[in-house]
Amino acid sequence: MDFAVQEIDADRAVVATNGRLNMVSAPAFRETLSSVVANGRSRVVVDLAGVEFMDSSGLGALVGCLKTARQAGGDLRIARPSEQVQMVLRLSNIDRILRPYPTVEAAQEF
């Protein structure tokens, strides 16, 4: 799994990821997002367009990163999830907490 961090301004960043967000990649995902927040960008958009599969470990990583961002005074939003990712979000009711946005631009409007 690859992560691309784009710093938008002093407190916002977009993290694009691709591949599988699962038990293997979740720790690196958390570490990447924790680093983004620690560097002062507490308003984070995660672009999930390239994520072909997400399991409960990936879901837990997203929720953990949401908590990290909120503890830093920011927020975390998700954009462009695939059908499989949307299904996982719906089945777990996490889509009520992490509402998916259709575009990265729409998610950036904090």
Q: Read off the tokens for 4.
A: 């691309």
Assigned domain for 108 exists = no
- Return the SS3 of 45: strand
Alpha helices in 1-110 (DSSP H): 26-38, 56-71, 83-91, 104-107
Give the total number of structural domains in the chain.
1
Assigned domain for 84 exists = yes
Measured distance CA(103)–CA(90) in Å, rounded: 18
What pLDDT, on the 0 to 100 scale, is given for residue 110? 79
- Return the SS3 of 95: helix
Assigned domain for 107 exists = no
Assigned domain for 110 exists = no
- Taking only the tens of pLDDT, the chain with its 110 residues reads 889 999 999 999 999 999 999 999 999 999 999 999 999 999 999 999 999 999 999 999 999 999 999 999 999 999 999 999 999 999 999 999 999 999 999 999 87
What pLDDT, on the 0 to 100 scale, is given for residue 99? 94
The CATH number for 54's domain is 3.30.750.24
Q: Record the pTM.
A: 0.95
Angle among Cα 86, 67, 14 to the nearest 5 degrees reads: 60
Assigned domain for 11 exists = yes
Residue 23 sits in which domain range? 2-102
Strand 12-21 versus strand 2-7 pairing type: antiparallel
Q: Name the residue among 36, 44, 35, 38 with its Cα closest to residue 12.
A: 44
